[in-house]
Amino acid sequence: MENQPVTSKNIILNYGLYLGIASILVSVILYALGMHYDQDWKQGTFGFIIMIAVIFLGLKKYKELNNGYLTIGQALKTGIGIALIGGIISLLYSFIFMNFIEPDFMANIMAGAEEKMLEQNPNLTDEQIEQALAISNKMSSPAILASISIVASLFFGFIVSLITGLILKKNPEN
């Protein structure tokens, strides 16, 4: 019996689920430690490292199941799929978190942003502060946040998949 080519569907679903669960675990740990209001570059970097690791492992598994072969196209398709599923799961958790677990989350973020604005520039007028907060409120609507979250997942998933695909690439010989 001849080997059938591997489909990426199961790998996308499994590793996307792993990525989503890992993102949720990080969020829960930050919440438990009281660090969920800290919008720190270290948290973003840690999340990005998790994404790199999960996509790398997913593509490595795909290559293993595909008789050691992985094309750039397969890497992009599989990696972006993993990032999309992980992003959707993380987005669902964020929705639950902001609506049920911590309903005042966005209001507290806005209050913290106002404090930072005043610390960085104490000469701001009330009108300038209100204008900046109005823009921030518009940008933090659920639809905008969801769109930005999914686009960011796809963008970073593309970058990670491309680089990982270039590293792991092995085209089948005709």
What is the rounded distance in angstroms from the CA atom of residue 30 to the CA atom of residue 8?
Answer: 32
3-state secondary structure of 4: coil
Q: In this structure, is residue 26 part of a structural domain?
A: yes
What is the per-residue pLDDT for 165? Answer: 97
Q: In total, how many domains does the chain have?
A: 1
Confirm whether 148 is domain-assigned: no
Determine, yes or no, domain membership for 108.
no
Question: What letter would DSSP give residue 66?
Answer: T
The model's pLDDT over 1-12, given as tens digits with 9 standing for 90+, comes to 445 667 899 999
CB-based burial of residue 31 (10 Å sphere; 0-12 exposed, 13-18 middle, 19+ buried)?
Answer: middle
DSSP type of residue 98: I
- Say which residues have a Cβ less than 8 Å from residue 103's Cβ, sequence separation at least 6: none
In a domain, 30, yes or no: yes
pLDDT digits (tens, 9 = 90+) for 126-152: 888 888 888 888 888 888 989 999 999
Q: Tell me the whole-structure pTM to 2 decimals.
A: 0.89
Would you say residue 93 lies in a domain? yes
Q: Which tens digit of pLDDT belongs to each residue from 104-120? A: 988 888 888 788 888 88
Which residues form the domain of 53? 9-103+154-168
